[in-house]
């Protein structure tokens, strides 16, 4: 499956007194990449919700390799790692130039607006499974 590339700069408000990006910002940055990937597919996340599919986070991790600093331009690469019957996992890699700063993963359940796990076929989930099976640039 294709990869979304998001370019952004570390904002002053995202840093600590030493000018280093606070670790809590990485998950928010991952969300930027995930939203961008959905838009690239022609299905912004808001349209998923309109179709009755919500993606609550059930697992998140981030491995920090090198700090990001104030005003650095960063590149976030986001892709789908796996689609299962009831969940989807996204993979994230954050770079400054060619240097890998962090990598992470989030797993999201497919849920109804009421928070109930979607247990049977849903057209949007079926589309997503088919799309991920087709590979890049599908």
**pLDDT per residue as tens digits for the range 21-55:** 999 999 999 999 999 999 998 889 899 999 999 99
In a domain? residue 24 = yes
Q: Which helix (H) or strand (E) element contains residue 107?
A: strand 99-109
Can 16 be counted among the known catalytic residues?
yes
The residue with tokens 């690239």 is: 40
Name the residue range of residue 107's domain: 4-133
Q: 102, 67 in Cβ contact below 8 A?
A: no
In a domain? residue 77 = yes
pTM of the model: 0.90
In a domain? residue 107 = yes
Q: 125, 110 in Cβ contact below 8 A?
A: yes
pLDDT of residue 121: 77
| Gap between the Cα atoms of 94 and 28, Å rounded | 12
The residue with tokens 């995202």 is: 14
In a domain? residue 91 = yes
CATH of the domain at 36: 3.10.129.10
Q: Which of 16, 50, 71, 126 is catalytic?
A: 16
């Amino acid at each position: 499956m294709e990869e979304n590339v998001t370019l952004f700069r570390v904002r002053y408000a995202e840093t600590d007194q030493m000018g280093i990006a606070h670790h809590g910002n990485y998950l928010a940055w991952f969300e930027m990449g995930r939203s961008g990937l959905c838009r690239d597919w022609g299905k912004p996340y808001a349209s998923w919700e309109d179709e009755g599919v919500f993606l609550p986070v059930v697992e998140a991790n981030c491995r920090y390799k090198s700090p990001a600093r104030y005003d650095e331009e960063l590149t976030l690469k986001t892709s789908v790692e796996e689609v299962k019957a009831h969940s989807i996992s996204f993979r994230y890699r954050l770079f400054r130039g060619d240097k890998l700063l962090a990598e992470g993963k989030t797993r999201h359940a497919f849920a109804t607006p009421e928070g109930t796990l979607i247990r049977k076929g849903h057209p949007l989930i079926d589309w997503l499974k088919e799309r991920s099976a087709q590979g890049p640039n599908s």
